[in-house]
Amino acid sequence: MSELKKTISDTLKASMRAKEKERVTVIRTILAEIKRIEVDERIEVDDARTLGVLDKMVKQRKDSVQQFTDGGREDLAEIEQREITIISEFLPTALTEDEIIDIVKAAIAETGAASMQQMGAVMAIVKPQVQGRGDMGIVSKHVKALIA
């Protein structure tokens, strides 16, 4: 079992003992998604893949917050925001904008990218370094700005 998955499971147990219903529900959702991937793909999910799952869950909830806010449903947006907070506890410390730019610049130098056709090669190097620690939309924006 990966270290991150073990941490999530241990947190679930502690939350159950503390009778924190909302945390238990969110953490069970995380573990269910990890288990679904393990069953579907017949693999043992590692920390990198777990970070990807957590990152995806946060992104989905951010989209929901935006939609609920636009629709005037602040109550539902608040619930999604609390879920983001709980999921984010398991993500590593977020990168600053300057750190993201430095990673992107290093990847561009490594690949020698000079045009947008090489953006995929740059992103392939950047993504594992930023996964779970930064918004890929922001990363993509910086890659486009620095290549062009």
> Along the 148 residues of the chain, how does pLDDT read in single tens digits?
789 999 999 999 999 999 999 999 999 999 999 999 999 999 999 988 998 899 899 999 999 999 999 999 999 999 999 999 999 999 988 888 899 999 999 999 998 888 889 899 999 999 888 887 888 888 899 999 988 7
State both tokens at 139: 């990363």
Burial class (CB in 10 A: 0-12, 13-18, 19+), 107: buried
- What lies within 8 Å, CB to CB, of 85 at 6+ separation is none
Tell me the C-alpha distance between 107 and 101, whole Å.
10
Dihedral of CA atoms 8, 9, 11, 16 in degrees, nearest 10, equals 140
In tens, the pLDDT along 55-87 reads: 899 999 999 999 999 999 999 999 999 999 999
Q: Which CATH architecture has domain 97-147?
A: Orthogonal Bundle (1.10)
Q: Write down the residue that tokens 């983001």 correspond to.
A: 84
Q: Where are the domains of the chain?
A: 3-88, 97-147
The CATH superfamily of 3-88 is Uncharacterised protein YqeY/AIM41, N-terminal domain (1.10.1510.10)
Tell me the C-alpha distance between 112 and 54, whole Å.
32
Residue 50's pLDDT is 93
